[in-house]
């Protein structure tokens, strides 16, 4: 593991791509820690919050097919840097809006940057792997998780110390914008094969999934529902079910993201030795068990342990599935990834909205029980994965 990380961080191009993942993680982790603030500010119940949380996936879903064209016209380098810059600028807007409807509109706008950044940065990582014969996808996703953990922990701590959320997100947005400018030169060294607009292959375009891609989507819906639920509901669960102090609300997600990151840092070696299918199946067992622990024993320590298990279990889902989708036969660079991402984001960003409605009708623990059931589907379908 140490040798692999030394190679990754000494490689200027992989380091630049990895830092984009980390910045995107910081943005998402910060948003996750601020969801209770949005809920309190507008006095939303679980169903209303779930409905508001649909705004991000709406933006992502609208933009996913368009992002393939952007990738073709601008190339991976410019598309990634532009989307990352706009994401840093747009991040603060939802927190400045005076009512729920304008917050939703701002989240849709932010979701468009999520989509393009996600597709372009994963395409960059996959292309670099193909060009130079190295494995970096799991490490890149580890950096996303590390950023998410850092963003969530710092966000929760700042709120606990009395820092106003708007002040905090403005500072985070400024740091992310500066970081994008700092990696600008290094990111220009992404190999020409990563630049889709220069590819001699078929032009990438959104298309309905093939049978092989549908198989990946089925697993991805389950893994992404788990990830999205942790991102959007872990802080609320810590606040309302566990009744932890305000300074610990974001630490549930931080524990989840920390163990996700640590597992992903070893992921490239694990996948090389065991393969994607077995790793995903064991991961599903660990994630479902951890979430069940948090449901049955809703105390601070047991919930943090349970959420940490979820992070470890779900950790290698995205690296395996994104790499596999990017290599589906018969699809141009970025197209398979964007197509799967369109459907997967229903689980990641839209699924938590459904969790909100279930929580409203029954309870939040019951809603999380539905995620455990989806984890069982994930375990079953992972046996069919050839990766």
Q: Could you identify the residue written with the tokens 């697993």?
A: 219
What is the rounded CA–CA span in Å between residue 77 and residue 4? 24
192 backbone φψ class: left, alpha, beta (φ>0; ψ -120 to 50): alpha
Record the tokens describing residue 182, joined without a space: 């700092």
Q: Please tell me which residue, 89 or 76, carries the higher pLDDT value.
A: 89
Q: Is 325 helix (H, G, I), strand (E, B) or coil?
A: helix
Give the model confidence (pLDDT) of 246-280 as tens digits. 778 888 888 998 898 889 888 877 887 787 888 98
Q: What is the pLDDT of residue 292?
A: 96
* Residue tagged 């102090």 (tokens): 245
pLDDT of residue 387: 54
Average pLDDT score over the chain: 84
Q: How far apart are CA 139 and CA 157, in angstroms?
A: 27
User: Does 194 score more than 70 pLDDT?
Assistant: no
Per-residue pLDDT at 199:
45
- Taking the whole predicted model, whether its pTM rises above 0.85 is answered as no
Compute the distance between CA of residue 373 and CA of residue 367 in angstroms, rounded to an integer: 10
Q: Which of 120, 103, 111, 26 is nearest to 67 (CA)?
A: 120
pLDDT for res 24: 92
| 3 state SS of 1 | coil
pLDDT of residue 65: 77
Is the per-residue pLDDT at 301 higher than 70? yes
- Biggest alpha carbon–alpha carbon distance for the chain: 57
Q: Rounded distance, CA 17 to CA 20, Å? A: 5
* Residue percentage of the chain with pLDDT more than 70: 89
- What crossing angle do the helices spanning 267-274 and 276-296 adopt, rounded to 10°? 120
Tell me what pLDDT residue 68 has.
74
Alpha helices in the chain (DSSP H): 2-10, 12-41, 46-52, 55-90, 93-96, 100-132, 137-160, 165-182, 184-187, 211-240, 251-265, 267-274, 276-296, 300-314, 317-326, 335-345, 351-361, 364-382
Q: Would you call 93 exposed, middle or buried from its count of C-beta atoms within 10 A (0-12, 13-18, 19+)?
A: middle
Q: What is the pLDDT of residue 207?
A: 57
**According to the model, what pLDDT value does residue 271 have?**
80
pLDDT greater than 50 at residue 198: no
Rounded Cα distance between 246 and 253, Å, is 13
Question: Token digits for 228?
Answer: 């999205």
What pLDDT score does 49 carry? 86
Q: How many CB atoms lie within 10 A of CB 362?
A: 13
pLDDT at residue 34 tops 50: yes
- Cα gap 382→218, rounded to integer Å: 9
């Amino acid at each position: 593991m140490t040798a692999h990380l030394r190679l990754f961080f000494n490689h200027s191009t992989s380091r630049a791509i990895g830092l984009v993942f980390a910045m995107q993680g910081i943005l998402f982790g910060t948003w996750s820690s601020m969801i209770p603030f949005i809920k309190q500010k507008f006095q939303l119940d679980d169903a209303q919050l779930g409905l508001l949380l649909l705004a991000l996936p709406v933006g992502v879903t609208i933009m996913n097919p368009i992002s393939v064209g952007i990738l073709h016209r601008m190339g991976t380098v410019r598309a990634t840097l532009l989307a990352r810059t706009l994401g840093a600028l747009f991040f603060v807007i939802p927190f400045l809006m005076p009512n729920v409807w304008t917050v939703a509109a701002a989240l849709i706008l932010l979701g468009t940057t999520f989509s393009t950044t996600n597709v372009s940065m994963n395409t960059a990582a996959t292309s670099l792997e193909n060009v130079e014969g190295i494995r970096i996808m799991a490490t890149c996703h580890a950096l996303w998780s590390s950023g998410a953990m850092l963003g969530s922990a710092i966000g929760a701590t700042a709120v606990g110390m009395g820092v106003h959320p708007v002040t905090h997100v403005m500072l985070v947005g400024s740091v992310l914008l500066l970081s994008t400018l700092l990696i600008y030169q290094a990111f220009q060294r992404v190999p020409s094969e990563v630049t889709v607009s220069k590819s001699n292959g078929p032009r990438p375009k959104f298309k309905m999934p093939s049978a092989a891609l549908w198989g990946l989507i089925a697993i991805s819906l389950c893994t992404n529902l788990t990830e999205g639920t942790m991102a959007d509901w872990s802080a609320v669960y810590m606040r309302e079910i566990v009744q932890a102090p305000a300074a610990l609300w974001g630490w549930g997600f931080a524990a989840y993201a920390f163990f996700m990151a640590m597992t992903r840092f070893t992921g490239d070696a694990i996948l090389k030795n065991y393969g994607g299918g077995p790793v995903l199946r064991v991961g599903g067992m660990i994630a479902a068990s951890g979430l069940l622990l948090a449901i049955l024993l809703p105390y601070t320590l047991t919930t943090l342990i349970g959420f940490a298990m979820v992070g470890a279990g779900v950790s290698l889902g995205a690296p395996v599935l994104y790499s596999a989708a990017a290599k589906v036969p018969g699809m141009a660079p970025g197209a398979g990834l964007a197509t799967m991402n369109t459907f997967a984001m229903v689980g990641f960003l839209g699924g938590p909205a459904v969790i909100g409605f279930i929580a409203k009708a029954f309870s939040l623990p019951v809603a999380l029980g539905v995620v455990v059931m989806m984890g069982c589907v994930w375990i079953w379908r992972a046996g069919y994965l050839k990766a």
